[in-house]
Chain A
Amino acid sequence: MNASSLEIPCEIPAGAQNPVEPFLRMDRMPHIWCPACGIGTTVNCFTRALLDSKADLDKVAVVSGIGCTGRVAGYVNLDSFHTTHGRAIPFATGLKLSNPELQVVVYSGDGDLFAIGGNHFIHAARRNMDLKVICVNNLTYAMTGGQTAPTTPGQTISATSPYGVFEPSFNLVQLAEAAGASYVARWTTYHVKQLAKSMGEILNKKGFCFIEVLSPCPTLYQRRNKMGDGLDAMKFYKEVSKVRHGSPTSEAALTKAGEIVVGKFVDRDRPDYLELLKSQMTASLGEQYAEPEVMCSEC
C-alpha cells in the first residue's frame, strides 16, 4: 500500500482549531481517554476516512458497546448509539435493516466485541451483514481496570491474572475470516495513514468488514507488564510490525513480544444479507414479494 496516496485534509474550517472538529462533539471535550491511549488516534483516522470518502455524514451512524472504545459513539458528531455491553452488532443489525441507506459503523473494543459479544460477531459475519466493524484492540478490559480479555496474550499480567495469563487468546483476524467477513485488515495506531485508508475502503465496500486496530493502553496493560509509556508503544509497533498484505490470517496470531503482522488480509465479494434476502424472497414469492418498507410513517 502506498500510504502517501491518501489525501490528508489540512484545511481548517472557519472557527475551528483542527480539521476534524466538525466530526466531533466539541461540547463534550475533553474526552475521558488517558494520555497516550490510542483510541483518539483511531477516531482521528476515522474522521479522515470520512472526509476522504466524501460520505454524506447525515447517513453515517456509529454504534458502540461498552468500554473505553465504547465511548467513541458519544464523541462523534453523527447519529450515534452507545448500547449495552457486547450488543453493538445486533443493535447495528436492526438499525441497518430498518434503514438500509445508512452506513452503519460498529466501533468498539476487543472485550466488548469478542468476549461478551463474540457470538454476535460471528453471526453477523456469517450473514455478511452490511456493517463496518472497527475493533480497537488494547488487549485488556481497560474501562474496568485492566482485567484479562480473550485477546490478552499469554505470559502477561492482568488485574485478574496476577500470576500470568495462561489461556490461549483469540486471533481476531482469523476468526473474522473464518466466520465469513468480506474484508479483514489489521493495523496499529502507529500506522495512521494505512489505517485511515483501510477505513476509507470499508466505507466503500458492501458486506461485513472488519478492521482490528492494535492500540496502546499505557495506564493498565503496559504499566502492569513493564512495557513503558505511549512513546514506547509506538516504538514497539514500529519495530515488530510487518506489513504482509494477503497473509494467511492463520499466520497472524499475536503474542506478547513477537511480530505483529499487519495489512489487508481478506477482500472478497459475497452477497450481503439484504441481497440474499431479496433474491430468496423473489425466487420463492415472485410478484407477491413486497420490497421491505420498514420505516413507519411520519406523524
Chain B
Amino acid sequence: MQADPKGVLTGVHFLDGDHACCEGTLAAGARFSAGYPITPSTEVVERFASRIPTVGGIFIQMEDELAASIAIQGAVWGGAKAFTVTSGPGFSLMMEHIGYAAMTETPCVFVNVQRGGPSTGLPTLPAQADMMQARWGSHGDYGIIALCPNSPQECFDLTITAFNLSEEFRVPVLLMLDECVGHMTEKVVIPEAGQLNITPRRFTKLPPEEFRLFEPRADQVPDMARAGEGYRFHVTGLTHDERGYPSMDVETQDRSVRRLIDKLTPLSGSRALFEAEDLDDAEVVVVSYGITSRVAQRAVQLARARGVRAGKFRIISAWPFPDPHIRELAGRVKAFVVPEINLGQMVHEVARAAGGQAKVIPVSHAGGSVHRPEVILDAIMEAAR
C-alpha cells in the first residue's frame, strides 16, 4: 500500500534525527501519539504535536509514561496506528506495556532516544545502554523487534520500517536511537507518498462468528479486528487461547508464548537488516550499531590503511539478533571487535552467536560521548595480531 500523502512531507530537508523520526511516523500513517516529556526524545512529539492538527490526528500528553505507553495501545485497538517516544527513565516505566503489547499482539512503535544511565543518569548525553532492556526488560518470555538507525535519514526510513514490521508481525517494535543520532542534523530526503511502501493492518475478512482474534495464519501471526465493528472480541494480558479467553493450562501457555517468539524468526535470518562492508576478505570484523557505527567506520578505514583486513558489520535490526549472519562470519574471521556505548551488552550476543569460532573483543564506553576512533582502531590492531 502507498503512503497517505497527507502525512508525507516530500522534499529535501535539513532535520535532526528526532524530527526525522516524527516525519517517519506521519509518513507511515501514524495518526495518534501519546507522550510524556523526557530529554533527549521530546522533540519527536513536539513536532508531532505541531504537525498532526493539520494532517488529521491526535497527540495527547499523558500524565506519565505508564499512561502514554498504554494509551497508544487503546488507540491501536480503536483502529489507529500509534506510537510513543521516551528515553531511559521513561523506557523503564514503559516495560510493563511493552509486555502487554507483546502478549496481546498489539502492533505499535516505541521510540527510545537513549541517554546515559542508570537512573536519571546523563539526560542530555548519549549512551547505548538500553539494548538488553529493550529485549528483556518486561517480565516473562516474549519477543520484540528493535531497530537502530545511525543517521537522521535512517530515523525517517526505519521509523516507517518499524511501523510496517509491527503491522506485519503484530508486535511492538522498538526504535532505538541514541542522543547523538536524535540530535544530529543532516540532509533527509523524504520521497513522494507513492514511493513509500506502507504495510496495512491485517484486518480480518472473516465474519465475526468465524473470526478468532489469536488464531495464527500460516506465518504464525493472527489477523486483527478493530473495536466497534461487531466482532465483540476480548483482549487480555492473561495467557489466552485463540479466542482471547484466559486459559491457565500449561499447553496453552506453551503454545502461545512460543509462538510470540517463533513468529519473529525470519527477522534474525533472511529478513535481518544490516549493512556489510569489506567482509569478503576480512580477518577482523567490527560489529556496531547506531552512532557508534559511524565512529567504527573511521576505525575500519584507519585499519585498512595500516594493512589490516578489517570489515564492518553494522547491525540495523538488533532484535531478533542476526545470529545466522554472525555465525557465518565467525567461521571465517579471526576476531570480532564490538564497540558500544555501554559496558558490554550486544557483545554478549556476538559472542553467543560466534560460538567460540572467533575471538570477540568488547570496546566499552560508560556513556556521555562517542568513542574515539583510535580506541576502536587499537582493538582492531590487537585483534589482528
Question: What is A's interface to B at a CB cutoff of 8 Å?
Answer: 25, 27-28, 57-59, 61, 63, 73-74, 77-84, 86-87, 89-99, 101-102, 119-120, 123, 277, 281, 285, 288-299
Contact = CB atoms under 8 A, between A and B. Distances in A.
Name which of A58, A81, A290 has the most chain B CB atoms within 10 A of its CB: A81
B191 interface: no
Given A79-B228, A87-B70, A285 B79 contact: no
A74 B234 contact: yes
B38 interface: no
A91 B28 CA distance: 22
Contacts of A296: 29, 31, 79-81, 200-201
Nearest to A88: B70
B233 interface: yes
A58 B235 CA distance: 16
Given A95-B77, A119-B64, 15 more contacts: A57-B232, A80-B232, A80-B233, A84-B70, A84-B237, A94-B76, A96-B78, A98-B79, A99-B80, A102-B227, A281-B53, A288-B53, A292-B56, A294-B31, A297-B29
B233 A123 contact: no
Interface string B51-64: 00111111010111
Interface residues of B, number: 55
Nearest to A126: B63
19 contacts: A58-B228, A74-B236, A81-B74, A81-B77, A84-B70, A86-B66, A94-B34, A94-B72, A94-B74, A94-B75, A95-B77, A97-B75, A98-B76, A98-B79, A290-B54, A292-B57, A294-B32, A294-B79, A296-B79
B82 A94 contact: yes
Given A99-B228, A290-B55, A294-B57, A83 B237 contact: yes
Contacts of B234: 25, 73-74, 80-82
B274 interface: no
B246 interface: yes
Name which of B32, B58, B201 has the most chain A CB atoms within 10 A of its CB: B58
Nearest to A129: B60
B136 interface: no
B231 A79 contact: yes
A4 B226 CA distance: 38
B236 A97 contact: no
Contacts of B31: 292-296
Given A294-B78, A299-B200, A77 B232 contact: yes
Contact of A84 (B55, B68, B96): B96
Contacts of A28: 245
Contacts of A98: 32, 58, 74-76, 78-80, 82
A94 B200 contact: no
B295 interface: no
Given A91-B74, A294-B75, A82 B54 contact: no
Contacts of B77: 79, 81, 95
B70 A79 contact: no
Nearest to A73: B234
B58 A294 contact: yes
B56 A90 contact: no
Given A82-B237, A98-B78, A277-B58, A299 B53 contact: no
Nearest to B234: A80
A94 B53 contact: no
A277 B57 CA distance: 11
Contact of A99 (B60, B79, B203, B231): B79
A96 B200 CA distance: 22
Interface in B74-98: 74-82, 96-97
A83 B63 CA distance: 18
B37 to A, nearest CB: 15
A123 to B, nearest CB: 4
A297 B34 CA distance: 20
Contacts of B1: 297, 299
A83 B201 CA distance: 22
A94 B73 contact: yes
B60 A93 contact: yes
A259 B295 CA distance: 71
Q: 7 smallest A-B Cβ distances: which pairs?
A: A94-B74, A98-B78, A99-B78, A295-B79, A94-B71, A290-B56, A90-B67
Contacts of A59: 228
A290 B234 CA distance: 32
A78 B96 CA distance: 25
Contacts of A91: 70-71, 73-74
A285 B200 CA distance: 30
B249 interface: no
Given A94-B74, A120-B63, A290-B54, A82 B236 contact: yes
B235 to A, nearest CB: 5
B230 interface: yes
Given A99-B226, A120-B63, A293-B57, A82 B75 contact: no
A119 B93 CA distance: 14
Contact of B53 (A58, A93, A289): A289
Contact of A288 (B54, B74, B231, B236): B54
